[in-house]
Structure 1
Amino acid sequence: MAINLEKGQRINLEKSNGSKLQNICVGINWGAIEKKGFFGGVTKEPVDLDASCAVYDENKRNIDTVSFRKLKSNDNAIKHSGDDLTGDMNGDDGLDNEVITLDLAQLNPSANHVAFFINSFRGQDFKDIPFASIRIYEGTPTRVNEVFAKYDIANDKNFAGNVSMVLGVFYKRNGEWKFSAVGAPTKDRKLEETVVTIQQNHL
């Protein structure tokens, strides 16, 4: 599997040994904004990015959403690590601030699309955040087996001026799960709006 996916690229969730990808994690790592003071000092402004996941049926109807407000899906297949309100205050520690895990085998049978997205809760522009990277990988929150999608939203000029983005969508085709890398910024201010944007544009 490729590590840096191109936007719009679709991949099969089959590993090199022929087995299917089962346990998927989406991890986000970001830093606080540094601001220079009048007297040469630097202050840190906390950044609150929110990772969320929306589930849709084959008719594109939203049947569940996991976010900082609801940390577990109704079928227990999707779990959120909890809300991080600040980001890394002392530079990049290399660890994910928020992780969402997805067990495809446990998903509600009527689930046909599982979309991952990010919103900047306080409306802080992606371009002002010193670092913000997202990775979609196989494994657990503490163990990375294989990364198959990566985005660097802080240093990509396509995300400047935006406070929300759609990462990608897992979708079921002929009973098999595949992944489509979206990597698209949106103008949404709230996660509820992004759920609708995905429904209209990315399924």
Structure 2
Amino acid sequence: MAINLQKGQRINLTKENGTTLSQACVGINWGAIEKKGFFGGVTREAVDLDGSCILYDSNKNATEIIYFGNLKSRNGAVRHSGDDLTGDVNGDDGLDNEVITIDFSNLEPNVEHVALVLNSYKGQDFGTIPFASIRIYEGTPTNVREVFAKYDIANDASFKGHVAMVMGVFYKRNNEWKFNAIGDPTADRKLQETIETVKQKYL
């Protein structure tokens, strides 16, 4: 099952052999901003991007928020690797700076939507970051089985001038999990605003 979704595409995550998705991750990799120094050198400005996961019930109420200030859901089904405050300062190391892991089999029964969002904590424009890529995949950080969606927000002109985005939403229909690859920048400045934007526009 080779998958590489474009923005706005949706898929059913039941596999060809009839089994359903059990684990998924979102990995975010980005670099520090490079600025020319006075004497021809280059200085690097730390970039603090924050990946977050919001759990919503059937009434579209946010029941839990997993982010840098709350690194796991109450039952441990969603886990955040921790806050990266700088990005890659020595060029792209190819590794994810932040990873959110979702265990669908252990989510609370009332969870109907699992939204993945990204915010620039200091308000640094996505368009000024030298590289920033996102991938949403089945498996674990050490065992990537299938990549569902990839976004290159540093080199996509639609992200210029924005500091927040909705990466995608997993949603449950008839007890089966499906995925909506959204990849939209938003006008939000803070995480709380993005949580409300998801509720109003993407669930």
Give the TM-score range, shorter chain. over 0.9
TM-score scaled by length of structure 1: 0.97
Instruction: Identify unmatched segments of 5+ residues in structure 1.
Output: none
TM-score scaled by length of structure 2: 0.97
Letter in 2 for 1:94: G
Structure 1 residues 128-180: Cα deviation after superposition (integer angstroms, max 9, x where no partner): 00000000111112221111111110000010000000000000111111001
The 1:141/1:51 distance shift into structure 2, 3 A limit, reads same
Any conservation in 2 of the 1:124–1:163 contact (CA below 8 Å)?
yes
Any conservation in 2 of the 1:3–1:150 contact (CA below 8 Å)?
no
Any conservation in 2 of the 1:33–1:129 contact (CA below 8 Å)?
yes
Return the alpha-carbon distance in structure 1 between the equivalents of residues 23 and 6 of structure 2: 22
Return the alpha-carbon distance in structure 1 between the equivalents of residues 37 and 195 of structure 2: 38
The alignment status of 1:193 with 2:196, answered yes or no, reads: no
Any conservation in 1 of the 2:153–2:159 contact (CA below 8 Å)?
yes
Could you tell me which residue of structure 2 aligns to residue 106 of structure 1?
106
Letter in 1 for 2:86: T
**Matched position secondary structure for 1:134:** strand
Percent of aligned pairs with the same amino acid: 68
Any conservation in 1 of the 2:36–2:42 contact (CA below 8 Å)?
yes
**Matched position secondary structure for 1:136:** strand
CA apart distance, 1:6: 1.6
Could you tell me which residue of structure 2 aligns to residue 143 of structure 1?
143
Aligned length: 203
CA apart distance, 1:2: 4.8
Question: Please, what is the CA RMSD of the aligned residues?
Answer: 1.0
**Matched position secondary structure for 2:155:** coil
Any conservation in 1 of the 2:14–2:176 contact (CA below 8 Å)?
no
Return the alpha-carbon distance in structure 2 between the equivalents of residues 125 and 63 of structure 1: 29
CA apart distance, 1:76: 1.3
Return the alpha-carbon distance in structure 1 between the equivalents of residues 4 and 41 of structure 2: 37
Could you tell me which residue of structure 2 aligns to residue 68 of structure 1?
68
Return the alpha-carbon distance in structure 2 between the equivalents of residues 77 and 91 of structure 1: 33
Could you tell me which residue of structure 1 aligns to residue 119 of structure 2?
119
CA apart distance, 1:3: 4.1
